[in-house]
A and B are shown apart, each in its own frame.
Chain A
Amino acid sequence: KQEVTQIPAALSVPEGENLVLNCSFTDSAIYNLQWFRQDPGKGLTSLLLIQSSQREQTSGRLNASLDKSSGRSTLYIAASQPGDSATYLCAVISSRLTFGEGTQLTVNP
């Protein structure tokens, strides 16, 4: 059974800082890995999708990496802004999509 873990559970940083969110998974037989953002009481917004054959994807200030063999992915956020405050969820896609518990990010002005 796939287990997905995200570290840290919560993170508070000053505006402008670069930061890294971590995701690990137990079964490396995955199709894809997807990072989402969730604002309080809202749905899930897709940020980046990494195919299993890829090692990283970039979108604007976001960069996600994938190391299947070690069961890890990182989400790098450059020059963080208060609007980046949200919960970031990592989801591993095998036969189903399994979510981690998320990292709650607060960027302080």
Chain B
Amino acid sequence: EPEVTQTPSHQVTQMGQEVILRCVPISNHLYFYWYRQILGQKVEFLVSFYNNEISEKSEIFDDQFSVERPDGSNFTLKIRSTKLEDSAMYFCASRKGAGELFFGEGSRLTVL
């Protein structure tokens, strides 16, 4: 069964460092998303991406964040200069059209 895959599963970084989280969405999907979940809190929307551009972003997705689809398969989230409060589980998701949204297992980011 096709699935969304994310790497790394866990990354530990120093405050101020750049981090890139990678996602491979399901191959025939067209809409891509990043969400995050701070420990013990709700899942929060970061950004949606369609047709090679950002379609919507939340207040959380400030200038420190960027997304890219560098080739036909990968979808990346970059955090330019990490802060302690960026520590969270980051989830990638994709869907084909107006249907079901599929999530990856998440990348846990720990900022020290």
Instruction: Tell me the B residues contacting A by CB distance below 8 Å.
Output: 33, 35, 41-45, 48, 56, 58, 91, 93, 98-106
Contact = CB atoms under 8 A, between A and B. Distances in A.
A91 B101 contact: yes
8 contacts: A43-B91, A43-B104, A46-B101, A49-B100, A97-B45, A97-B93, A97-B101, A101-B42
Nearest to B99: A49
A34 B101 contact: yes
Nearest to A89: B43
Given A43-B91, A46-B100, A49-B99, A99 B105 contact: no
Interface residues of A, number: 22
A42 B105 contact: yes
A12 interface: no
Given A42-B106, A97-B45, 10 more contacts: A31-B98, A36-B103, A46-B103, A89-B43, A91-B43, A95-B56, A96-B58, A97-B93, A101-B41, A101-B42
A20 interface: no
Interface string A26-43: 000001101010000011
Given A43-B91, A98-B45, A100-B42, A34 B100 contact: yes
Contacts of B48: 96
B57 to A, nearest CB: 9
A89 B103 CA distance: 13
